[in-house]
Every structure is written in structure tokens, then in C-alpha cells.
Amino acid sequence: MENKLYHAECGVNAAIALFSGRWKVIILHMLSKNTRRFGEIQARIPAVSKKVLTEQLKELEADGLISRKEYKELPPRVEYALTHFGKSLCPLLADIAAWKRKTIL
């Protein structure tokens, strides 16, 4: 993208990309209440497939929004949690929700 346009949007698109994805907002909201295991997340989002859930979690982790802790046990156990960065996003999502509510009513 050209510089003029970059300054116009000020990274908004890049920021949006961090939490746009079919299940990311739901995952972030879920983890804001509790650390969760992979299976728990999947159980609470019945419509998501393992492949897609894995992808979304990997992207969220790569973007620094969530952390992944693997316990070397048998059977394996993995815990996902919000990072500090991820927690900082929650108020913004609340603002977005509030904006939508205001305008629909």
C-alpha cells in the first residue's frame, strides 16, 4: 500500500486483521473469562472444525494475543490463555459492540 494511503488508515486494517476471523472474537471472549484447554474451546464452539480451530489459535498466538502452554503428559494437555496484549484488546471489542448496539436501536 502506498504511503499516502498508509497514513490515511493508520494501520487500522492491520489492527482489524488481528481479530477478524470467523471465531477469533468468540475465542478471545471465552479466554477472557478462563484459561481453556483445546477440547473445552471446541466443545463450546460446536460449529468449528479441529482444523480451523487450530488455525485460528495459531494465528492468535502468532499475533501475540493468546499463549499456548503444552503439558508433556499422556494424554496430552494444552492450555490457552489471553496474553497481556490480548487482554488489552477486550475493551476495544466492548467498544465495538457498544457502537453497534447504539446504532441499531
Partner DNA sequence: CAGTATCCGACGCGATACTG
Partner DNA sequence: CAGTATCGCGTCGGATACTG
The residues binding DNA (CB under 7 A) are 21-23, 37-40, 47-52, 54-57, 68, 70, 75-78
Sign of CA dihedral 26, 47, 80, 58: negative
Nearest approach in angstroms of CB 58 to a copy of itself is 20
> According to the binding rule CB under 8 A, does residue 8 interact with a copy of itself?
yes
Candidates 95, 24, 33, 91; CA nearest to 63 is 24
User: Mask of contacts with a copy of itself, 74-93, x by CB under 8 A?
Assistant: -----------x--xx--xx
Q: How far is the CB of 40 from a copy of itself (least distance, A)?
A: 14
Which residues are at the interface with a copy of itself (CB under 8 A)? 1-2, 4-5, 8-16, 19-20, 22, 25-26, 29-30, 44-47, 85, 88-89, 92-93, 95-97, 99-104
